[in-house]
Amino acid sequence: MAILGNKAFFFELVEQSGIEPDEEEDTPQICDHLVRWWHGQPEGERPPADEVAISLGCVVGDFVMHFYNFEWSMLTDRDGTNLVLVGRPPGGGEIIFPAIHSVAKRFEEAPEGFIVEMLDELVEFFGPLLKDEYAGDGEEE
């Protein structure tokens, strides 16, 4: 399933789950609601974990790309080929964020959700890639 198909699946799941986020909630909080919903379903009635985790990873990746200068890219290493986000900071080098893999490896072990916490932990690493239009957010008094 392509990224667009995975994102469509995410929205189908949100609708199926009946999640109605608060106005101040954004994509990470909605993702955590979906993680909790999935864990709360009877085992035989849950959508497949890998499909849900992949769809969450695609949505998380696009959310990150909204604020930071990353692009989806295919990366091949000793573990195989994966879809990842790649950013190139102004000072050189690359920052690679395997959004789908990061979500998938935590998904079944985190019944209370983990997306918000995971992204909060990564903000300092993503800092050099923050898009100019968001550079001043959160600093006003």
Residue extents of the structural domains in the chain = 3-19+27-131
Contact 10, 55 (CB under 8 A): yes
| pLDDT beyond 90 at 1 | no
Cα–Cα distance for residue pair 19/37, rounded to 1 Å: 8
pLDDT, tens digit, for every residue of 67-107?
999 999 999 989 889 999 999 999 899 999 999 999 999 99
Name the pTM for this structure. 0.90
Cα–Cα distance for residue pair 105/56, rounded to 1 Å: 12
Q: Name the 3-class secondary structure at 75.
A: strand
How far from the centroid of its chain's Cα atoms is residue 13's Cα?
15
